[in-house]
Each structure stands twice: as structure tokens, then as C-alpha cells.
Amino acid sequence: MELSGQTVKVNKPRPVNLDLQTIRFPLTAIASILHRVSGVITFVSVAILLWLLGLSLSSPEGFASAANIVDSFFVKFVLWGVLTALFYHIVLGVRHLLMDMGYFEEMDTGIASTKVSFAIVAVLAIFAGGLVW
Ligand code: HEM
């Protein structure tokens, strides 16, 4: 095998698949990655939401400023995303804790519990939309 000018000896030629279009993550892996992403989103947003709460409780003017900030479509959309990420983190977190107790460890039950969790999060995302708008 030629590697930047050097010849490297390999015992067996190994199969190489670097065609990313043919590599598919299992549903459970996607759920796990999204759980980490939703945890980071929740972590960052807690600081912003606490600042907003502090502002709204500071004075009547502060409350008016906070209400004014939240009054735009963009901020409402971000708030909806944050709430959905939090719901995702909680629902998939509970699934994770159940797996720690020995449930849904097989591939078929793991995929089934992921699908059920996604469905619950979808319902909660609609609920979050109702809360925000
Ligand atoms: C302010 C609230 C929360 C924040 C900021 C937060 C953030 C995080 C972060 C950053 C991780 C690490 C993810 C990783 O490295 O893969 C994590 C893991 C985890 N969180 Fe949360 N979390 C919160 C609330 C919750 C709640 C309410 C639950 C309830 C079920 C939960 C369940 C879990 C579990 C089970 C893990 C471990 C996942 C693993 O081992 O892969 N979290 N959380």
C-alpha cells in the first residue's frame, strides 16, 4: 500500500468503504447523537432563559422588555426549538435510564422504543407550539 511516498505492508487487504452515501446510521445511533445535541442545547438555553426570567421579574419595565423580546416570530420559533429539545432530552433520557435498568437492550426492542419515543416527542413538540403561540 502506498501512503504519502512510503510503502506500508499490510497483512490482509481490508475492505474499504469511504462512500459516505452508502453508510447508514441505525435509528438508535441517530437517537443517541440527537440526545447529546439536545443536552447541549438545553444547557446553553437554560442560561438565556434564566436571564430572560430575571429581566421579566426585575420591574414592570423589565417585564415589558422581556415580553417585547419574546414577541417576534423568530424568538418564538427559537423558544419552540428549545422546548422541543428539552422534551426530546427528557423522553430519550427516560428511555436511556430504562436501558440502564436492562430494558430495550435488544436491537428490535431498541428500535421499537426509539420509534415510540420519537412519536411522544412529536406530540410534545405540537404541545410546545401551542404553549409558545
Ligand atoms: C437542564 C437540564 C438538563 C441539561 C442541561 C442536560 C444536559 C445533558 C448533557 C449535556 C448530557 C451529556 C450528553 C452526552 O454526553 O451524550 C446529558 C446526558 C444525559 N441526560 Fe441530561 N440534561 C438535562 C436534564 C435531563 C433530564 C430531565 C433527564 C431525565 C431523563 C436527563 C437524562 C440524561 C441522561 C440519561 C443522560 C446520559 C446519556 C448517555 O449516557 O448517553 N437529562 N444531559
pLDDT tens-digit readout, 68-117: 999 999 999 999 999 999 999 999 999 999 999 999 999 999 999 999 99
- Which atom of ligand 1 lies closest to the CA of 94? 30
Q: Which residue from 123, 126, 118, 124 is spatially nearest to 34, judged by alpha carbons?
A: 118
Contacts for 27 with CB less than 8 Å, ≥ 6 apart: 111, 114, 115
Residue from 30, 89, 124 whose mutation best tests the ligand 1 pocket (most atoms within 8 A of CB): 89
**Domain ranges, ordered by start, for the chain:** 38-43+72-132
What is the pLDDT of the chain when averaged over all its residues?
A: 93
Return the pLDDT at 22. 81
Number of residues assigned to the chain: 133
Say which CATH architecture domain 38-43+72-132 belongs to: Up-down Bundle (1.20)
Residue 82 CA, ligand 1 centroid: distance in Å: 14
Residue 94 CA, ligand 1 centroid: distance in Å: 10
φ, ψ (nearest 5 deg) of residue 17: -135, 95
